[in-house]
Structure formats: C-alpha cells, structure tokens
C-alpha cells in the first residue's frame, strides 16, 4: 500500500508511520517530494490494515495496490471459466446460455407450458421462483418446496437444467437437491452467511449483482462463495439503482466488459429485472449480447396480466420467440452462437 | 388506485380496463378529459395488482393512493412509539438513547473498559459486534458466541441494555438469549426471512436502513417485522450510497423528519458508519440531534489504531466524552434531554 | 391532474380544494373511497400549478396526467424525425451516423490526419472541441476560434459535416457560422439561456444528456430548443453519474428504447465519455447499436498518449477501423446500415 | 503522482514509463514489490498528465497526491475566510448569515412585504430570483431587470445586502450593478464561462453545489472564480441528487464538516431547495446549524399557495419567525450567534 502524508505532516509523524509499518514487518520506501512525503509499503495487509494506518497523525490518505479478491481475479486465472450446468449446457463458452421462465412458479400446468414454449424458442435453462423475496409481507411469497418439485418435473420433462433462488441458509440443502443452478438474488448479494453456505453445496451459483453494489463488492461476494471451494460462479448483471425512474433499475452495460477485464467468471444479463417493463427488454437483451454477455435471463409468462409476480416485465411466449430470432443474428455478428 | 390511459387509448381499451376492474370487485370512476381518460378504482389490491393493470392495452400509468405499509404507518397510530429496551432505558421519549461501543468485540478486557468509559460519559446502551458482516471473506468475522457472552457480562456489570447484530436466521434464538436489542444491519435490511424470524423473537429490533433503500422500502422492512407481532422496531439512519466519495456514505438527515411524518417508530442516527471517518462524526451527530433524532449510535474504541474492524470511524473515549457534553447543550436547545 | 387527499382530510379541506380548482376554471371529479378521497381535475396547469395545490390543507399528493414536454413528445409526432446535417448525411434514418474525431482540436495537421483516417474507416461526421469545458481552470481550454477554422478546413477537405460544442451564449453566432451541428455538452444541458440561443441559430443541435439528468429533464431541455423554432435536435446518451467507479460514468443503455417510446427525436450514443476508458468503448458501442441507437460519437486520436484532453478514452485509428468492421455486422443484424 | 503497474507489466514496460516521466522532467522513485512495481513521480502535472500515463503499456492505475484546487484549499490558507457582504454583514464569522426571501420576485409590493417581515424575524440578507432557471420553457422565467430594481429598492429600504442569481454571461454586469452578492445556481456550477465572468465582477459570489457534484468538483468551481482574482466565494449546500424520492434532493450534511476540512471558504445551507417541502425545512435548518454551517438560505413567501415558483418549499412568515427562535438556541449551543 501507499501512504500519502499531509503537507503539514512533521518529520516525527513520518518517522512514526515508518516505525509502525516496520514493526508489522513491512518494507518501507519513503519518497520525499517538495511539499509532500509518500511512503510505499510492502507487506501483509492482514497484519496491519489500511484503516489502521489512516488513523495515524499526519496521514492524508492510504491507497491499496493489490485487488482485494484473488480467486475471482483474472490475475489468478487468465482463461475465461466455462461452467458445466448439466444436460450438456455450458455457461461461458461460445454458445450463449439463455435462462427463461416465469418470475414465480404458480402451478405445474403453468410452468410446464412455459417450459415447453421457451425450449421450443431456443432457451436452454429453465428459471422460476419458488422462494420469492418480496418487498411487502402481504405479497405472494412463492410456493416453496411445492414450487421446487414443479420445477424439477419440468426440467426432467424438457431435459433442461433448472435455476432457482435460495433466500435462507436453512433452505440451501433442499434447494440444492432439486435444482441444477442456485441463484443468489440481488437483495442477498451481501448475505455473507448464505454465500458461505452455497459455497459448500457443490452446485453452480448464479450470483446477481446487488441493488447498489460496486463491481468490487460483487467480485468480493463471488470470492466468498469461491473461498468455500465452489469455483462455479456465474455473474448476473440485473441493473443498478440510480436516480432515473423511467426504468426500474439502470442496466449497467459496462459491467460486461469491466467484469471481463477483472475476472475470469462468465457474466449473463437480466434485462427483465433491469428495465422492469417488457417494452424495453428486447433492446437491452440485444445490447447485452452485442457487448459480450455470455447469456441472458429473461422472464417469460404465458399470461402476464395474471402473473402472481412481476407481470409487467414478462414477455409473452410469442414475443420471446421473436426476440430469440433477432438475438440469433446478433450472436452470429459477434462470433457467438445461440442454440 | 388511479389508472391513467394513453392519449391514443381507444374506447375499447377503456371499456376493457373497466371490465377487468369490475370483475375483480373494484368500483370504477372514469374521468374523461379532453385528451385523456383517467379511471379511479376502489377495491382490494391483493386481488388485482397495479402491475397487472399496467399490462393492459392503452394504459399509460397506474398510481397508488394507499401507502403499502400499515402497521408502521402514522395513519394507523398517530402517537410516537416509545420502546422500553430494559434497564430503565426507553427509546423514542424525551430522553435521547445513546448506543456506544466498539465496532467489533475483541476481548472481555477491551469491551469492559470501553463499556465503563462510555457509561461514564453518559451513553445508556452498549453496542458491539459478535457476528460481523465483512465485505471480504479474509477479514475478521467476529467472535460469535464468545462475543455474545463478553457483551452480556459487560451489560450486567454496567446495568446497561446491550445491542448486537444477527446475520443468520439460524442464530436468532442464540442472539435473542444474550441481547436486549437485536440489530438488523444495512446489508440484511431486505433479508426477509431474517426479518420474519426476528419478528418472532420478542426482543426490540434496531433496523438499519439498507445501503441504497428508499424510505418506503425501509418502512416495508419494518412492516415485515411488525407483521409477525413485534411492534418494537427502532429505525436507524446510517447513510445511503451516493456518487460522493468524500465520505463512506451520505448521511440523509431528511430521513429524520420524513420518518416522523410517515411513521410512529423512533429513529436514531449512526454518524460513524455514515461518514466512515472519526473527523466528521461529531458534526453529523450534533446535526442529527438538532434535526429531531431520538438517539445516536456511535462507535467508540480505546485504541482505534489497533481496532479489528472500522478503526478510522471510531472515536477515542475522550473525544466521545467531549462530544457528549456538546450534545447535551443541543439536546436542551431542542427540548430533549441527554442522561 | 389528480389530487390525492390524506386519510385525515376533513370535508372542509376537500371542499376548499374543489373550490380553488373551480375558481381557476378546472372541472373537478371527486372520487370518495372508504378511507380516502381523490379529486380528478381537468384544466390549464399554467393557471394553477400542482405545486400550489400541494400546499393546501389535507392534500397528500398531486399526480400529473400530461407529460410536461410537447414538441419533443411522440404524442405530437409519431414518426421518427430524420435530421439532415449536410453533405448528404442524415441522422435518424436507416443509415447510422458516426461522429468521430479527437476530444480537443490541437492543430491543423493533427486534425486533418485524424479526419482523413476516420473518414477512410467509415465515419460520416467530424467531431472535435474548440471550446472545452474543463473541470480545472488550469487545464487546456481549447483553441477557440482558431480551432473552429481548423475544423472547418477539414470538413471542407473531407466533405463531411462538422460538429463542435458551444459553451457561452456570446459564442453561438460564431460557432454556428463554422459548424454544421452545434453540440450542447452535458454540463450545459440545463444552461437554459444557451438552449434558447441555439434554438434560434438554425443549425441542428446535438444535445448531450446532463451528468445526472432524468429522461424527462433531457426532453424538457430539447423542448427549450424546439420552443424557439429549431426542431432539429439529436439526443446523445453519454453516461450518467452513479456510485460505480469502475467506469467514469454509467452508460444508460435503456435510454435508447425509452427515448424511442417517449420521443420522435433521434438518439446517438457516446461510449467514449460514458466509459472514460478506451478498453470499454467497443463493447458499449456495439451494445448501443444493437439496442437501436441511431448513431455513435467516438473519440479517435492518432496519439492518445499525447492528447491535450481525455486521451485514455480515445481509440487509436487502427482500433477505430477494426471497431467499424465489427459494428457493420451488428448494424446489418438489426436492419440498419453503416456507410 | 504514483503509478501502479500491473502484475503482468514487463521490465520493458516499467522502463518505458520511467523514461517518459524523466523526459518530462519528473524525478522517479520505483518500488519493486513481490508481485507489483509502483513508481513514485515528482514533477509538474501540467507538462504530463495522469491521463497520459494511464495510456502506457503495463500501467494499472495512477494516483494523484496533490489536490487539484489550490486557492480554495486549506493547505494554502488555514484560517477560515470571513467575507464582508455589505451593510455590516459578514459571512463566515461568529454570527450566522441568514439569507431569506421568496424564490421568485413577483412585484415590489410582494417583495417589500416579505423583506420587512424576514428582517423583523432576524434575517440579515435578502434573497430573491429575477432570472429564474426553470426546467420548462413554459414556466414563469422571472421579472429580469425589473426584478433587480425591485430587489434593490427593498435592500435600500431595509438596509440589507441583496443576493440574486445570474444565469447568462451577458447579464453579469447588470446583476453586479444591482446586487451585493451574486448567486451561481446549481445548474450552472460547471458553466465555466459564467464562473470566469463572475470572477471578474468584484462582488462576493454564492456558489451553489451542482445537482450531482462531488466536493472536489465544487471546490474546483470555486477555484475557477478565485483564479480570476475574486476570493470572496461562499459555498452553499442545497442537496444532491440520489435515488430517494421522499425529498426533492438529499441534503448532504457531511458537506459541512468536509468543506471545513478541505477549504477555508464559508459554507451555508439551503434546506428549502434540498427538501422541496416546507414540512422538512425546519429540521434540516436546525441540523445544518448544529453541524457547523455558517448560515442558511431559506425561502419565505407570504402566500405560498400563490407563489409563481416553488411554493411548496416556502415557509410562511410566521413559521420562519418561529424557526428563527429555535435556531437562536441551537446557535448558542454551538458557540455561534444569530442576530
């Protein structure tokens, strides 16, 4: 780390900082400028943190030089990770992964119909919510274990991997039993106990970006999962919170190239939650694929007017089908394929 | 709710919206303007949601007229709630509640020393972290149950109620056994399972505002806890995420009068987490009391340079003591008292 | 507009609101719900504003039902505007507009070389800054009128329209004399005097979105220009300010479909200013075209290491050339062409 | 500045960076860590900017060590500036400055009545808008020069300095002739030509913080004014743009202690524009004074229901009078006085 001293720091302040650094085993390299002194320090930040240095007299700022995540970092692994999620589907390779399905699972009949439909249009992973995090305690909270069974049945029927969210450490085992990919939702991205628990479950994890999380916090959340031995983490950009109200969230398209620069993990895009409105889903989906996303997660509902959750952002099956045809051309234009 | 039709909506669109509303038992009141039609609808939103109406042809926008929270709302209870947290301390009354202590509990010796010190300066509730949500899996995660015991001992010794955070549904019972007030941290404000679980535990809850939560989402989180029968919720403003980097978060002082307008729940301020820097804690603490906060939560550490967590935002005991003297004058100026 | 009364509003409050509305010539339509009364009001908001109603006793909220912009609105003109910017180039049609050039004009030699190069790669409009809004008074502020002449010469030489920014009402006449398209920069999007002045100048205007402007504010800024009789406004999304620091701004890709929903004006994307880093320009440029942008504005510099302004976000000519080839495929995939 | 090289930087990359730095007259101090090399560089950033270094091969990041503003910085002048604004009123001293008046000047009668009223309540500076920046071209834009005369008359009558906004470089001379303090509004904080122009006018400047400006950008805007020789700049915090919609903006109370840490310029608070609602003005005003603000700017209107602009955030004279009495006690509690 680099310690920038204040203009007004005394020689005594500077000596005190150097002494503490050396006491903790750091090598110090002071640079004396005309007005300011800067101290380069090489050592183990677990022994003495930046925060502790910041407290010392005469210190203006402390700048890190190492990234705080390691397993998720491209510095550790330069090749893009490709994650096998079952039924022959891989996320992060040349073929795009398309997760599709309703926001909430409502019945076997509803889910099966949507599943068959999205498969016919070219989706390769089924999504659906059995445990729903809803902002109101009075809203429909999901079918829970019954929903998991419904989803499992449809996955078998269609020979597609299924992805569903877990919201409680106590349910991880159950959800892992039924699903192929476990989703950590935006609201739980920093539910660290849940991250540790899914890190132990052996299934690939879809990690949504938090409502207002930085790229660094997101990769640190991936690091939590990976630190438990589970390297199969798929990032999912789903829009961030900004002042703009024309869309529910602001889809951060730059997250795609930035994540590719910083990490080897695959990244998919969720235009449904990002925009909150079916009218804008297609434009953002196409943009994400052109920008290099490894896949998409799209809400599809056969009767969005009657959806138990998030109807306005769901595409009808025919619109989803039309979108897949458009996406196919864009995928080809950027050297990818859409199965 | 109020349905605003598009300029281009046809008579058929309008009739279709009215029909669906009536099918679900709503009373409709159409208003035909020169360019637009607006439909007022009175009925039960649990049967037919705004989102479902939004999907219909010709609909431009749907506007709610009722607040989504009820138990937390001032419309339900007009008098300010006063919450008894034990040892004779009440939050929400004329006397201010001052929660003080270190970010993380490090040892019995450390905690006891700080506890005695903050009590001597006038704090009336002890705070400290046993389970720490840290953004890195490689950072100190807290002493867990050992920390709870340390805290419990100090609470007994000083005859002060203690407040500590719970981060996992599986730990609620344990934390409730040791502590007088259970804290839900910013990162778990929308961990709905945890909210439901603490709603059942019988202890007062300190509910921190989420990193980027709206006032409405915050009150909805309180509603989750209250919907399980626990009405003893204390709000805690701890800064929100903005583009500004001069402070760790941006303390939203308006949250104090806004919460008083919308809710009967008491609200306290946490200037330590809001600013992230000890230098700015006193100014924000004084501002919050002047603006009408029912109390403060302040980090105090006897040796912040060596704190295991969040040292730079902790006050040394002597600075805390000086601040309490200044706060006393402001409390009196706004008709409150600081014990 | 719709007036939502508080639960606690008295019959007298309601009558008073109705009376004032009627005094100002509004037709009122009260709807009495079980708990709340809502009043629909049809009339001229210039006579009595929403803000004035908000002040009345018992009023909870006032909701507008008409959009505040008219000339820029799709409700006024349903067909997409196509703007002729000279030299046979049109913005908003099937062919994409590609504005390219350096951030700042440094010399005739530099600008001519870049101009010839971007033309060879397929750009059809030259951009460059003669008057630069810089955040520091000590930074290079542009070559001013000398820069305009340099640009004018290159435009003639290459037979390309030129686009440059104006930052002062006193310079509008001068800038309009030399350039084909006048740019209003992000920092001046709400410099209303400047908007009115360029509204009178007769040249097409490129209107960048403000640093933290909403879609509505942006369209209102266009309305200012159009209200002076200049209908040739081209919107330019250049990233908005958020908490994320991995990129300079956050490119709001949804602004593309949202603007198409609300307005008939063409919209182009500026990935250079949005990302602030050349590494991310290509991904965002491709995403914007796939999402439906009518064009791009891209910074190109022959020697970005020595650029007087914004070097790190500029592409070298060979990278720009490679990007144009990739964009060509995406344009075709979405039914557009890149000349 | 400090150059942080990538882990993957080659010895050749490092040598190339050092060579360029030395070519531009910088002294270099390389620090070779186990994984990374860091280069400290001392020299003149006007010759070689951080941005130019960022472009070089193998460079990961460049960190500044000097603040970009100088004249506004506390490093230049450690004592708080006290600015004489006429009629014996000083801003930045022990006595608080209270700017009060209507948002827009509507008539001599209206303004005089409000002026006399706020003076009686203890305000010491008159404020009012003659040139109004309005988001809609169809809204009332102010009385322009007629408004200036009205204001001038009231200032003379009450023997109070007057403060009004200028929005166009062409009006600076006129506004400077009539007013004692010239206001630069939030939307013009980065209208650099206007900043330079008011820097030459000889009158004290009230510089509002931009809608979404950082502390650093704000101080750089002050630097623009000061670089023209006008050192009499008063900062005014008026709320920043965030995702929260319960208030019009989010009042950043931390801006008060942060500005005191970084700069010698006085800072006042505008709770009216920050909250947008009269109900929240008193709480924020009291908080700001307790946090160390040097004064307040408060909108007062004798008939806010009929105000031509911003009625809902204006206090009625009797509420303003009551607030001044409360503020008086808080001022005393923090060692200030309210005349």
pLDDT in tens, B66-109: 788 999 998 888 899 999 999 999 999 999 999 999 999 999 99
Do B242 and B127 belong together in one domain?
Answer: yes
Which of chain D's residues have a Cβ under 8 Å away from the Cβ of B262?
246
The two counts, helices (H) then strands (E), for chain A are: 11, 14
Residue D210: inside a domain: yes
Sequence-ordered list of residues with C-beta below 8 angstroms from that of C150, at least 6 positions apart, any chain = C105, C107, C108, C111, C128, C130, C143
Dist. CA C305–CA D52, nearest whole Å: 5
- What secondary structure does DSSP assign to B6-68, as a single string? PTT--HHHHHHHHHHHHHTT-EEEEEE-SS-EEEEEES-TTTS-HHHHHTSTTEEEEE--S-S
Residue B28 lies in a domain: yes
> Among partner residues A254, A280, A326, which is closest to C257 by beta-carbon distance?
A280
Count of Cβ atoms closer than 10 Å to residue C144 Cβ: 14
Which residues of C lie closer than 8 Å to D, measured between beta carbons?
Answer: 46, 49, 51-52, 54-56, 68-69, 133-138, 167-170, 187-188, 190-193, 196, 210-212, 217, 220, 223-224, 227, 241, 278, 304-307, 310-312
The pLDDT of residue B141: 85
Among A275, A280, A288, beta carbon nearest to C287? A288
D63, D92, D112 — which closes off a domain?
Answer: D63
pLDDT of A46: 67
Tokens of D338: 């309210």
Position D237 confidence tier, pLDDT thresholds 50, 70, 90: very high
Residues of chain C neighbouring B2 (CB-CB closer than 8 A): 2, 38, 63
Give the pLDDT score at A299. 96
Q: What is the mean pLDDT of chain C?
A: 93
Tens digits of residue pLDDT in C186-216: 999 999 999 999 999 999 999 999 999 999 9
Which residues of chain B make contact with A227, given a CB cutoff of 8 A?
Answer: 137-138
Do A169 and A216 have their domain in common?
yes
Structural domain boundaries enclosing C189: 83-333
C-beta atoms of C2 and B7 within 8 A: no
Q: Is residue A226 part of a domain?
A: yes
How high is the pLDDT of residue B27?
85
**CA D184 – CA D200 distance, rounded (Å):** 14
Do both C169 and C303 map to the same domain? Answer: yes
pLDDT for residue C123 = 98
Q: Which residues of A touch C257 (CB under 8 A)?
A: 275, 279-280, 282-284
Is-contact A250 C250, C-beta < 8 A?
yes
H-run or E-run covering C101: strand C97-101
Classified as helix, coil or strand, D207 is strand
Contact of C2 with B38, CB cutoff 8 Å: yes
- Whole-number Å distance between alpha carbons of C94 and C294: 8
Query: Hey, which of B288-302, C133-147, D4-18 has the most confident mean pLDDT?
Result: B288-302
- For C129-164, write each residue's pLDDT tens digit: 999 888 888 888 889 999 999 999 999 999 999 999
A129-143, B206-220, D98-112: lowest mean pLDDT where? A129-143
- pLDDT at C306 exceeding the cut of 80: no
Phi, psi at residue A251, to the nearest 5°? -70, 120
B250: nearest CA partner in chain C? C243
Given this model, what pLDDT does residue C145 score?
93
Q: Based on the domain organization, do B103 and B143 belong to the same domain?
A: yes
B98 close to B143: Cβ distance less than 8 angstroms: no
Q: Is residue B74 part of a domain?
A: no
Structural domain count of chain B = 2
Distance from CA of D214 to the nearest CA of B (A): 5
* DSSP secondary structure letter of residue C93: S
Cβ-Cβ contacts under 8 Å between B and D: the total is 136
- Determine the average pLDDT of the residues in C301-305: 84
Shared domain check, C175 and C264: yes
CA distance B20 to D15: 73
Chains touching C (at least 3 CB pairs under 8 A) are A, B, D
CATH code of C267's domain: 3.20.20.70
Model confidence pLDDT, tens digit, residues A8-61: 889 999 999 999 888 888 888 888 877 788 888 887 776 677 777 887 888 888
For residue A82, which of A264, A205, A269, A297 has the smallest C-alpha distance? Answer: A264
Handedness of CA A163, A167, A168, A169 (dihedral sign): positive
Q: What is the pLDDT of residue D6?
A: 86
A308 domain-assigned:
yes
Task: Write down the pLDDT at residue C125.
Answer: 98
Average pLDDT, chain A: 93
* Chain mean pLDDT for chain B: 93
Distance (Å) from the alpha carbon of D167 to chain C's nearest alpha carbon: 7
Which residues, including other chains, have CB under 8 Å from residue D251's CB and lie 6 or more apart? B252, B253, B254, D237, D238, D239, D269, D271, D274, D275, D284, D287, D288
Closest residue in C to D17 (Cα–Cα): C305
- Determine the pLDDT at residue A197: 97
Name the residue in chain D with its Cα closest to that of A241. D243
Q: Which residues of C touch B65 (CB under 8 A)?
A: 4, 33, 36, 38
Bridge partners, residue A164, by sequence: A182
- Over chain D, what is the mean pLDDT? 93
What's the average model confidence in pLDDT over C155-176?
A: 97
Q: What is the pLDDT of residue C256?
A: 98
| Chain B hits for C2, Cβ within 8 Å | 2, 38, 63
Residue C339: inside a domain? no
Per-residue tokens: B100: 């003080």
HSE-up of A39 (CA within 13 Å, CB side)? 29
Highest mean pLDDT among B47-56, B246-255, C28-37: B246-255
Residue C47 has pLDDT above 80, yes or no: no
Q: Which of the listed residues B14, B33, B63 is the one where a domain comes to its end?
A: B63
What percent of chain C is helix, strand and coil (3-state, nearest 5)? 40, 20, 40
Option in C33, C75, C243 nearest B42 (CB): C33
Facing A4 at nearest CB: one of D31, D65, D241: D65
- D30 pLDDT more than 90: no
Cα distance between residue D241 and residue C190, in whole Å: 15
DSSP per residue, B171-201: GHHHHHHH-SEEEEPGGGTT-HHHHHHHHTS
In a shared domain, residues D57 and D89: no
- The pLDDT value recorded for residue D213 is 98
CB contact under 8 A, A241 and D245: no
Please give, rounded to a whole number of angstroms, the shortest distance from the CA of C156 to a CA of chain D. Answer: 30
Q: Which range, of B14-18, B257-261, D62-66, D294-298, averages the lowest pLDDT? A: D62-66
Q: Are both B102 and B248 inside the same structural domain?
A: yes
**Is the confidence at residue C46, as pLDDT, over 70?**
no
pLDDT (tens digit per residue) in D128-186: 999 988 888 888 888 999 999 999 999 999 999 999 999 999 999 999 999 999 999 99
Chain A interface with D: residues with Cβ < 8 Å: 2, 4, 7-8, 29, 31, 33-36, 38, 40, 42, 63, 65-66, 75, 212, 241-243, 245
Q: C135 and C207 share a domain?
A: yes
Q: How many residues does the structure list for chain D?
A: 339
Q: Which of D67, D41, D66 is nearest to D54 (CA)?
A: D41
Contact criterion met (CB below 8 Å) for D278 and D313:
yes
Question: Which has more confidence, D63 or B120?
Answer: B120
Kindly state whether residue D339 falls inside one of the protein's structural domains. Answer: no
B299 confidence band (pLDDT: 50, 70, 90): very high
Rounded to whole angstroms, the Cα distance separating D330 from A188 reads 42
Same domain, C59 and C130: no
β-strands D181-184, D205-208 pairing: parallel
Distances (CA, A) of C54 to A9, B111, C18, C57, D198: 54, 52, 13, 8, 36
CA distance A69 to chain D (A): 14
Q: Which of B148-157, C22-31, C189-198 has the lowest mean pLDDT?
A: C22-31
Contact A119, A145 (CB under 8 A): no
Based on the fold, state whether residues C139 and C54 are members of the same structural domain. Answer: no
Domain-terminating residue out of A11, A31, A63? A63
D97 in the same domain as D43: no
Please tell me the distance in Å from A323's CA to the nearest CA on chain C.
Answer: 11
Strands of D94-229 (E only): list them. Answer: 97-101, 125-127, 162-165, 181-184, 205-208
pTM as predicted: 0.94
Give the A:C interface size as CB pairs under 8 Å: 136
CB-closest option in D40, D242, D245 to A31: D40
- What pLDDT is stored for residue D47 in this prediction? 67
Q: Say if residues D255 and D209 touch (Cβ distance below 8 Å).
A: yes
Where does the pLDDT of residue B54 fall: very low under 50, low under 70, confident under 90, or very high at 90 and above?
confident
CB atoms within 10 A of CB D165: 23
Q: What pLDDT score does C221 carry?
A: 97
- Residues A203-213 have a mean pLDDT of 98
User: For position B49, which CATH number holds?
Assistant: 3.30.70.1140
Q: How many CB atoms lie within 10 A of CB C108?
A: 15
Which one has a higher pLDDT value, B179 or C21?
Answer: B179
Q: Closest Cα partner for D133 from D101, D165, D179?
A: D165
Write the pLDDT tens digit of every residue in A171-182.
Answer: 999 999 999 999
Q: Residue A134: inside a domain, yes or no? A: yes
pLDDT score of B46: 67
Q: What are phi and psi of B16, to 5 degrees?
A: -65, -40
One domain for residues D51 and D122: no
């Amino acid at each position: 780390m680099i310690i920038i001293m204040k203009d007004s720091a005394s020689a005594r302040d500077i000596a005190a900082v150097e002494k503490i650094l050396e006491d903790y085993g750091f090598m110090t390299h002071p640079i004396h400028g005309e007005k300011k002194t800067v101290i380069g320090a090489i050592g183990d930040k677990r022994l003495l943190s930046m925060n502790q240095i910041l407290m010392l007299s005469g210190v203006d700022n402390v700048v890190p030089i190492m990234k705080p995540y390691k397993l998720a970092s491209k510095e550790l692994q330069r090749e893009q990770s490709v994650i096998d999620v079952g039924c022959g589907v891989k996320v992060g390779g040349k073929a795009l992964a398309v997760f599709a399905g309703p926001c909430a699972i409502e019945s076997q009949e509803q889910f099966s119909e949507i599943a068959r439909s999205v498969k016919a249009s070219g989706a390769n992973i089924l999504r659906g919510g059995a445990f729903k995090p809803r902002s109101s305690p009075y809203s429909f909270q999901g079918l829970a274990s019954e929903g998991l069974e419904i989803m499992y049945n449809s996955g078998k029927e269609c020979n597609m991997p299924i992805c569903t969210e877990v919201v409680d450490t106590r349910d991880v085992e159950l959800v892992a039993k039924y699903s192929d990919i476990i989703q950590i939702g935006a609201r739980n991205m920093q539910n660290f106990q849940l991250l540790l628990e899914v890190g132990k479950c052996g299934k690939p994890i879809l990690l949504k970006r938090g409502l207002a999380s930085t790229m660094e916090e997101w990769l640190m959340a991936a690091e939590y999962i990976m630190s438990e031995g589970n390297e199969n983490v798929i990032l999912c950009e789903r829009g961030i919170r900004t002042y703009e109200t024309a869309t529910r969230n602001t889809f951060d398209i730059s997250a795609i190239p930035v994540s590719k620069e910083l990490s080897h993990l695959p990244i998919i895009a969720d235009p449904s939650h990002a925009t909150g409105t079916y009218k804008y889903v297609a434009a953002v989906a196409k943009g994400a694929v052109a920008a290099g996303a490894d896949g998409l997660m799209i809400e599809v509902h056969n009767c969005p007017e009657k959806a138990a959750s998030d109807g306005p952002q769901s595409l009808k099956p025919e619109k989803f089908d039309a979108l897949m045809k458009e996406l196919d051309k864009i995928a080809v234009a950027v050297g990818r394929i859409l199965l």
